[in-house]
Structure formats: C-alpha cells, structure tokens
Amino acid sequence: MKKTILSGSTVTGDLTLGNYIGAINTWTQLQDEYDCLYFLADLHALTVHQDPEVLRKRTHSFFAQYLALGLDPKKNIIFAQSQVPQHTELSWILTCLTPMGYLNRMTQFKEKAEKHVKNINAGLFTYPVLMAADILLYQADLVPVGEDQKQHLELCRDLVGYFENRYGKGIFKMPEPMIGKTGARIMSLQDPTKKMSKSDENDKNRISIIDDAKAIEKKFKSAATDSGSEIKYDVENKAGVSNLLTIYSVLSGKTIEQLENEYVGKMYGHLKVDLAQVVIQKLGPVKDKYDDLMKNRDYLDQLLVEGAERAEARAEATIKKVYDTVGLVRRR
Ligand code: ATP
Ligand code: LTN
C-alpha cells in the first residue's frame, strides 16, 4: 500500500519561487511513489479580502501553474478545496474541539492579524482548523509543507489526540509533516530576513512562476546583498547571498559548497547574472506551458471537476465515520 500524501497552497497572490522550491517541486518528486492529493486552498484565501473576479481567475491560474510545473492529474488527485464540501463539514466539528488559547498562539495568525488590522476575522483565527480538516479527511500519512507551516501541523496532530480522547481511537490517521532540508524557507529578495511571500505588496520581493525573463533578470539584479564581497553561505551575516545560493543550489542540483568554490574571487553581480539565467531556464518552459493551458479554460474546468469527484469519494468515507462517531445523522 502506498502512503498518502496531501498538500495545498492558498489561492492568494502569485505563486513564487519560494512556493516552488519549498512545496511544488517536492510534490512533483513524490507523485510516482506515493498516493498524492494536491489542492487549491481557495477557502483559506477568503480569510483575507478577495476580489471575486480575481479569485475566480486565480483558481484557474494556480491550477494551470500546478500542471505546468509538472503535477500530473492522472498520477495525483488535484482539486479545488471549495468543490469538496466535506472540508467545511469536518472543519466545524474540529473547531468545536479546538481551544481558543491554542489558536491565539499561532504565529501565522499573529503575523496576518498585524498585516490586516482592519480585517481580523474569525476565519483568520480558525484557519489552522480548516487546514487540519483538509489533512484528516484524506487520512494523509505525510504532509509536505515549508517550515512556516509546522506549527499548523502540530495543531492538526493535537486535534487527532483531542478527538480520540473524547470519542475513541481509529477515526483519523496521525499525519507527519514532511519538511525539506534545503529551501525550506526561501527569503524575500529585498529583505532576506523575511520569507518570500506570494501576497507581499512589493513585487520586487519575489520571483513569480510566471514572471518573464526580463522581470527575472531585473529582480535578481536589484536583490539585496550584504556588505563585503565574498560569496559565502552564512545566514547570520550574509542573509541575502545565502538566499541566492540556496535558490541556485536547489535549481542547479549543485551543492552550496560547489557553488562557493566556483565563485571564489567573483563578485555578487556575477552570481546574480548567472542565477537569473538558471531560473529563466527553469521557468521559461513552464511559462509557455502555462500560457497554453490558460487558453483552454473549459479543459481546466473539466479537470477540476474530475479531481473534485475523486477527492470527494475519499472525503465522504471519512466524514461518514465522523458523523456516526459524534452522533450526527448523515443524510446520504
Ligand atoms: P501568503 O503570502 O499568501 O501567505 P505563501 O507564499 O506563504 O502565501 P502558502 O500558500 O502559504 O504561500 O504556501 C504554500 C506552500 O509553499 C507551503 O507549503 C509553504 O510552506 C510553502 N512556502 C511558501 N513560501 C515559502 C518560502 N518562501 N520558502 C519555502 N516554502 C514556502
Ligand atoms: N496553510 C497552507 C496551505 C494549506 C495546506 C493545507 C497545506 C491549506 N490546507 C493542508 C498542507 C495541508 C499554507 O501553506 N499556507
């Protein structure tokens, strides 16, 4: 029996090189060996204000980017969260088991609450509970995420415990986080002490998957580097250069050490120019494929429906058991 993998990305902003390196690249490597489900977290996107038309378009755009980056809808179940209603059904039941104090400690909630002072809604607060529902519905064994999501995974695991204490064992599988070593946190190009984020207001902070060659060159050129001139991996003193080396290493397959040796005596500028080319070579064909896919929205919609149907069949098996266990009467 193959182990089950589940992961997703919120449908906000533009998918970045950080999302690719920290998440989607790993997903594509897992698709042959595991039973994989990957989804578009569009309900999670609603925790911050979304223009309805933009959100709708972005759902197609993210899906096309998943496919263009190499996720195969035949090998994986790829779907949109809102098209499988069991996510919200389980989320409510888990919400009723979650202590408020626990959610109050969540780093992402604190950060987002600070960023969206005018819209600190209850969804932003219960965001990690919906995420736990996403995972537990499919009895996932492993959840590949970037390091920033570790705390949410911990809540998910604790919720399995709370549920078992109250209702007994055997309903949910205990999921494990799967966090890559290199590239677990790609940093912002302008401020390498912050993570590269797809909903950052400043576009210069990130490389988007669908940026064209010119934009990629320009953004790397203006990336913040550190004082001194030595090209060396040292996160504490050379956060900018270290971030560039990490990106370079993941995309080229060379080790950081190899890169440091190659760039002895060279300047930051050399590294930036070369790195831009490595990224363009990787993302150029992805963008072409993406542009093609986006010309055929009907095809994308059809694939989304197929994905949702396959996901729903699995989600329903779990939610039925949960309804029975907690004493609710399931209609179907
Ligand atoms: P937002 O800016 O909207 O919060 P985000 O860029 O953090 O978005 P998510 O949707 O939260 O993206 O994350 C999708 C996946 O990408 C997660 O597994 C997350 O850990 C990973 N990820 C996001 N940003 C980075 C990054 N800078 N480096 C490595 N992995 C990342
Ligand atoms: N919160 C996640 C996206 C996400 C997710 C999930 C990831 C929503 N539900 C379930 C893994 C499993 C993020 O990366 N921001």
> Model confidence over 40-85: pLDDT tens digits?
999 999 999 999 999 999 999 999 999 999 999 999 999 999 999 9
Ligand 2 pocket, residue 145 CB under 6 Å: yes
CA of 41 to the centre of ligand 2 (A): 7
pLDDT 10s digits, 225-266: 988 899 999 999 999 999 999 999 999 999 999 999 999 999
Atom of ligand 2 nearest to the CA of 41: 8
Task: Please give the CATH superfamily to which domain 4-178+296-326 belongs.
Answer: HUPs (3.40.50.620)
Q: Is the CB of 10 under 6 A from ligand 2?
A: yes
Q: Where are the domains of the chain?
A: 4-178+296-326, 203-292
Domain made up of 203-292: CATH architecture? Orthogonal Bundle (1.10)
* SS3 assignment for the chain: CCCEEEEEEECCCCCEHHHHHHHHHHHHHHCCCCEEEEEEEHHHHCCCCCCHHHHHHHHHHHHHHHHHCCCCCCCEEEEEHHHCCHHHHHHHHHHCCCCHHHHHCCHHHHHHHHHCCCCCCHHHHHHHHHHHHHHHHCCCCEEECCHHHHHHHHHHHHHHHHHHHHHCCCCCCCCEEECCCCCCCCECCCCCCCECCCCCCCHHHCCECCCCHHHHHHHHHCCCCCCCCCCCCECCCEHHHHHHHHHHHHHHCCCHHHHHHHCCCCCHHHHHHHHHHHHHHHHHHHHHHHHHHHCCHHHHHHHHHHHHHHHHHHHHHHHHHHHHHHCCCCCC
Ligand 2 and 44: CB distance under 6 A: yes
Residue to probe by mutation, ligand 2, list 77, 131, 153, 157, most atoms within 8 Å of CB: 131
Decide whether any atom of ligand 2 lies within 6 Å of the 41 Cβ. Answer: yes
pTM of the model: 0.93
pLDDT attached to residue 182: 61
With a pLDDT cut of 90, the percent of the chain lying above it is: 92
Integer Cα distance of 184 and 21 in angstroms = 8
For residues 36 and 27, the answer to whether their CB atoms sit within 8 Å is yes
CB 319 within 8 A of CB 86: yes
